Copies of this chain bind each other. A is one copy, B any other.
């Protein structure tokens, strides 16, 4: 209808899309985000530059898609199949234990050498570019954080967390310190640290006896 040049996504080459994803992730890991170029991705993927410009508006967008793809594939491996719902946070009744389990998983993810480079690149880009940052939060962070909110609301109903606590703030109390240490590399990020954060935070959230 409109005369804009909207490419026909039904004719899109899946082979190229995948090759671009792989090349982008590989390059970011190998040479860093700054030294990763569109030309480099195209060359490595055996693809024309125009094929990238046709489907993505920026280098960051390519990496974002590639990362989402990667995360999606990783999730499928964990869950039984593609149609599976996200695992969520277990609810064993022991809030501290449940949170430690998930926070330790997050620590492992952040320490995973395969994921570190692209995650840092996207986060950094989002810090400076508000638009991209919003997309990053919306597509990657929010779904994960929603799980915390669910578990914390359950804890509130079970009386393990005060009713006047805002779950969004509570989860920032858990995630914030982790991210702070990871982003700024002030000290190593360990399971022990995750546990301590949970212990301290729970103290602030639990009902005052």
A contact set with B: CB distance below 8 Å: 32-34, 120-121, 123-128, 130, 133-134, 136-137, 141, 165-166, 168-170, 172-173, 175-181, 183-187, 193, 196-197, 199-206, 208
A185 vs B141: C-alpha distance when bound (angstroms): 12
CB contacts (< 8 Å) of A175 on chain B: these are: 176-177, 180
A205 vs B34: C-alpha distance when bound (angstroms): 41
Q: Are A196 and B184 interface neighbours, CB within 8 A?
A: no
CB contacts (< 8 Å) of A123 on chain B: these are: 127, 183
Q: Are B173 and A201 interface neighbours, CB within 8 A?
A: yes
Select which of B124, B137, B168, B199 is within 8 A of A124 by beta carbon: B124
A168 vs B176: C-alpha distance when bound (angstroms): 14
Q: Are B176 and A180 interface neighbours, CB within 8 A?
A: yes
Select which of B126, B176, B196, B205 is within 8 A of A177 by beta carbon: B176
A175 vs B180: C-alpha distance when bound (angstroms): 8
Question: Given contacts A120-B127, A127-B127, A172-B180, is CB(A200)–CB(B196) below 8 Å?
Answer: no
Residue of B nearest to A187 (CB): B168
Select which of B120, B127, B141, B173 is within 8 A of A200 by beta carbon: B173
Other A-B pairs beyond A176-B176, A179-B180, A203-B204, 7, CB < 8 Å: A32-B128, A123-B127, A124-B125, A124-B127, A130-B185, A202-B204, A204-B205
CB contacts (< 8 Å) of A201 on chain B: these are: 173, 200, 204
